[in-house]
Structure 1
Amino acid sequence: MSVATAPTTLDVSNTPAVPFGRLVRVELRKLADTRAGRWLLISIAALTLLVLIIQLSVVLGQGLHPKFLDFLQGMNTPMGVLLPVLGVLSVTSEWSQRTAMVTFTLEPSRVRVVAAKFVSILVISVLALVIGLILGSLANVVYGALSGDTVVWGSPAKYAAFYLLLYVFGMATGFAFGALFLNSPAGIVAYFVYSFVFPGLFEIAASLMDWFAKLQPWIDFNNDQNDLIDATIHGRGWAHLIVAGLIWLVVPLAIGIWRIRRAEVK
């Protein structure tokens, strides 16, 4: 007569968690490992350099007198458009490439994975700022050397802080849309609609309706960030930025994290 034996179970209670720093390094590597991410990073750097070269050529050819802030604003054109796309791709990669099963098996805590992804885009924002400041400074010095004019620096520390916020907001908003849709094309399209379609609609509505003109600064997160680009934000502008950021950044991000925690892994 055979004796029934109890099924054995695998005790993983004492298994150490994956260090958070390692998760961040993995997520940073993912941004450059894929073909889309790698070429997007290359495109951002190349277009930023190209824009500054064109801007430098124009100001020298037309005898203009730019300041350091003018070069930072020129640098923001490609970075402000393309960095958020990287933010979208950073959070949709598992779901678009069907690698979520592997990721969440190696690290079961989805919140930790999302947090690592978010920290990775903050790191990219800092790196983008450093590269932009170096290129902008170089353009300003070259302008002074070739034109013979006095180089105007203004307040570089204040500009750096404002542009860091600008890049963080851009990448975080892209990240939020990516988390909300969990699909790369949908997240990118939604971000571009928010960036290029809604501001125009808001302007039209504000010109036609006085009550909406008073409401617009509180809901137009994209437009509110223009004061960061110009380094003129103050007082009420910060209040507008915070309220609009809650609508377009915090709410989509919260819903997106809720979706990620409950989405079926395939």
Structure 2
Amino acid sequence: MSVTEINRPAEAVATTAIARHRAEAADLPPVRGQSFFLLVRTELRKSVNTRSGRVLLLAILALALFAVGWQLTHLGDGRITPEFFIGPTSTGVMLLLPVIGVMAMTSEWSQRTALTTFTLSPRRVRVQLAKFVSAIVLSVVVLTVTTLLALAAIPVGGAISGDGSTFAGLGGTLAGMYLTAALNVVMGAAFGAVLANTAVAIVVFFIAPTAWSLAGPALFKDNAQWLDVFGAFGRIAERDLNGMLPETLTALTVWIVLPTIAGLWASSRREVK
């Protein structure tokens, strides 16, 4: 008996096994890709399931409670308006909200979980976009909680002062505040995506635009407004661009749009270890 004749039974068994596996695979339901909603939900859970994430959320809530308590003990004359509580409460909250975006984008690289994440979800840009969305959603939830605290304090303050309270102008104030918060968080997330290191991204996020707002006017006079993102945020929050639409759009493009594009590009090509 030749070697070929000996190998024929083994080849037949292998062919039969392959055909059987193909038939079984054909009977299986089609594999569904991961939905974007699932990715966003996963990123949201990852943002609140870490110690640093919980500490950050508690710090934001503590700042809001402190601001409300401070305002209640420093009531002035006249009716209490929404801005009396919302303004001081949102100041500290706005300062820390962008850190949510930074931590969302840098968690895979700083915690060395990128290999696991991008093995389960190889489409990196899609995962990064889910991180952007989850950071915005979480920030909106946190901002809503702190805003409700401020709104609850308005009638309390009016009762304590004896001058009453009013909610006039509340809608415009909230619209400007939420839009500014979302832009601020996206900006933080963009810096995180570019730098991929939590500490470095936070430092650069706070120092770079602040340095420009201080040095820009001294170097470029009124032309510094074209890159002043804080001025752009202020005009958006006040719902009044003061005829500076081109300057506002340019500042947002330089500090938010371009870093976002660069961050998505860098994340899609960064080496996974």
Both proteins in one fold, TM over 0.5:
yes
Q: What is the aligned counterpart of 1:221 among 226, 229, 232?
A: 229
Please list the CA deviations of residues 184-222 of structure 1 after superposition, one character each: whole Å capped at 9, or x if unmatched.
Answer: 1111111110343332222433xxxxxx22212211012
* Secondary structure at 1:55 match in 2: helix
Query: Per-residue displacement from partner, 1:116-141 (whole Å, max 9, x unpaired)?
Result: 11111121232133223311211211
Give the secondary-structure state (helix, strand or coil) at the position aligned to 1:185: helix
1:31 paired residue number: 47
1-side partners of 2:245 and 2:84: how far apart?
22
Note the C-alpha offset of 1:66.
4.6
CA distance in 2, matches of 1:232, 1:119: 24
Sort the Cα spacing of 1:197 and 1:55 in 2 relative to 1 into closer, same or farther, 3 A: farther
Q: Number of aligned pairs?
A: 254
CA distance in 1, matches of 2:155, 2:46: 36
In the other structure, the counterpart of 1:80 is 94
TM-score when normalising by structure 2: 0.85
Residue in structure 2 matched with residue 241 of structure 1 by the alignment: 248
Q: 1:129·1:160 contact (CA, 8 Å) conserved in 2? A: no
Q: Gaps (5+ residues) in structure 1?
A: 206-211
User: Greater CA radius of gyration, 1 or 2?
Assistant: 2
Residue 180 of structure 2, aligned match among 166, 171, 185: 166
Structure 1: distance between partners of 2:82 and 2:189 = 30
Asked if the contact 2:80/2:158 (under 8 Å) is kept, the reply is: no
| 1:77-130 CA distance string (max 9 Å, x none) | 211111111110001000001101111111111111011111111212321332
The letter for the 1-side match of 2:55 is W
CA RMSD of aligned residues (A): 2.4
For the residues of structure 2 that align with 1:110 and 1:185, how far apart are their CA atoms? Answer: 22
| C-alpha distance 238-217 of structure 1, shift in aligned 2 (>3 A) | same
Amino acid at match of 1:73: G
Structure 2 unmatched runs, 5+: none
Structure 1 residues 240 and 71, CA gap change in structure 2 (3 angstroms): farther
Amino acid at match of 1:214: D
Which position in structure 1 is the counterpart of 2:36? 20
